[in-house]
Structure 1
Amino acid sequence: MFGRLMPREGRFFELFNAHTEQMVAAAKSLEVLMSADDVQPHIEAIDSREVRADGIQHEIMALLHRTFITPFDRDEIHALISSMDDIVDAIQDVAESITLYNVDRYTPDARQMASLSLSCCERVKHVVSLLDDMKSAGDILRTCREIDQIEGDCDRVMRTAISELFRKETDALKVMKLSAIYQVLEKITDCCKDVAKRVESIVLESA
């Protein structure tokens, strides 16, 4: 009863939303990168977004330590922002892999996976933006199911792409490079699915 009367720190939601802004911007840069002749500006943009997102994560952790009453369980806040940050890290991993493997041409499958990743990130942004109003629980849970579906679609694209690569590509080095790119791309939607699971848990426990 006493806890319900205490003032609650609402800035968590503001920071969550700021983090997802960086996430979606990074995913957009990745999608553009996949069709660009000059990838370097987009890689730099992704790196910049990752740094900003990391700063927001640290700000949330600092706020968590100095806040008496939090919007929901402290462990859930920690797990949520950590899994959100994993998405941005996964996007940066793709950019770093592109630099590492010196990939300069992207298959339609890679471009499709980048587009699916952006769609997934946009839905993560949507569900996170609704967390401060549990009256939106239905919308949140519906969007979480959409994230799960997109993750499955991306996984299927990756498996088909790798299978085709091994059947048709004779250059072993190219097979290695593209396989690695496909796998790090698919990790983005995996991380989005992890966020969706955490959001579902928060919503169901608050119902």
Structure 2
Amino acid sequence: MFGWFQRLLPHSGDFYVLFERHAVALMAAADALAMLTAGEGDRAAHLRTIRDQEHAADEVIRETLHEVRQTFLTPFDRGAITSLIGSMDDTIDEMNRTAAAIELFEVTSFDPPMKQIGVLIQDACKLIVEAMPQLRDVERNGRPLHHLTAKLVKLEGEVDVLHDNGMKAAFQAQQKNSDPLGFMVSREIYKHLERVADAFEDVANEIDSLVIDHG
């Protein structure tokens, strides 16, 4: 009888911990991607780290969806919770796709803009890691959260510029050296790197929505 009564009581899952755990996986993957594109350290280890962290993030997603189904009281609207964690997961998924393309095409050297994008992705993940604990008190932290999301959007714009400049340089190199295959590989890597940054903007938008609704 007591167990039955307990199941009827309202529950509030700790979604904040899940957000923060996912952000930690994001950060670890971004660190590995930055070192990979910089040509530093063990290439195979970086690829493995990105893949492992993507799997860790998937586990957080599964836990979050389970908590959403099981929890009576949630700190935010259920749709807002799944949208935020989903946008974060899109980011690490794109990092994993970038790593997979690098492995598939056996890319071992990277253009300067690719290296710079790797650093900006790292910077963006630091902002997400900083933002997640502040969601525990959105009403009080609305202003600093908005500043963080503005920085995220700015970084996405900087990646767009680097992407365009890198693609232009890769095309000019292809014209000069008659290397269409090299251009196609570069285009594929740039495409995935840009998609990582695009996903960051989605994370920023989801956080801003929470600030608007609860700040």
For normalisation by structure 2, the TM-score amounts to 0.90
111 and 189 in structure 1: CA distance in 2 versus 1, 3 angstrom threshold: same
Instruction: State the alpha-carbon separation in 1 of the partners of residues 143 and 10 from structure 2.
Output: 27
Instruction: State the alpha-carbon separation in 2 of the partners of residues 122 and 198 from structure 1.
Output: 17
Please name the residue that 1:3 is paired with: none
Task: Kindly report which structure 2 residues correspond to 1:109-124, keeping only aligned pairs within 5 A, or say none.
Answer: 109-124=113-128
Task: Kindly report which structure 2 residues correspond to 1:6-25, keeping only aligned pairs within 5 A, or say none.
Answer: 9-25=12-28
Q: Is the 8 A contact 2:13 2:71 kept in 1?
A: no
Please name the residue that 1:29 is paired with: 32
Please name the residue that 1:61 is paired with: 65
Aligned AA (1:40):
A
Aligned AA (1:33):
L
Instruction: State the alpha-carbon separation in 2 of the partners of residues 37 and 144 from structure 1.
Output: 31
1:184 maps onto 2:192 in alignment: yes
Report runs of 4+ in structure 1 exceeding 2 Å deviation. none
Q: Is the 8 A contact 1:30 1:42 kept in 2?
A: yes
Q: Is the 8 A contact 2:34 2:118 kept in 1?
A: yes
> What is the CA distance between 1:97 and its match in structure 2?
0.4
Instruction: State the alpha-carbon separation in 2 of the partners of residues 65 and 93 from structure 1.
Output: 29
Deviation string for 1:95-144 (max 9, x for gaps)?
00001111111111111011011111111222222111120110000010
CA RMSD of aligned residues (A): 1.3
Instruction: State the alpha-carbon separation in 2 of the partners of residues 143 and 25 from structure 1.
Output: 20
Please name the residue that 1:108 is paired with: 112
Please name the residue that 1:202 is paired with: 210
Deviation string for 1:49-95 (max 9, x for gaps)?
11111001100100110000100100111111111111110110110
1:130 maps onto 2:134 in alignment: yes
Please name the residue that 1:166 is paired with: 171
22 and 37 in structure 1: CA distance in 2 versus 1, 3 angstrom threshold: closer
Q: Is the 8 A contact 2:15 2:64 kept in 1?
A: yes
1:157 maps onto 2:162 in alignment: yes
Q: Is the 8 A contact 2:13 2:67 kept in 1?
A: no
Q: Provide the secondary structure at the position in 1 that maps to 2:46.
A: helix
72 and 37 in structure 1: CA distance in 2 versus 1, 3 angstrom threshold: closer
Q: Provide the secondary structure at the position in 1 that maps to 2:73.
A: coil
Q: Provide the secondary structure at the position in 1 that maps to 2:55.
A: helix
Q: Is the 8 A contact 1:31 1:114 kept in 2?
A: yes
Q: Provide the secondary structure at the position in 2 that maps to 1:131.
A: helix
Q: Is the 8 A contact 1:22 1:53 kept in 2?
A: yes
> What is the CA distance between 1:8 and its match in structure 2?
5.9
5+ residue gaps, structure 2, are 1-8
Q: Is the 8 A contact 1:57 1:82 kept in 2?
A: yes
Q: Is the 8 A contact 1:90 1:188 kept in 2?
A: yes
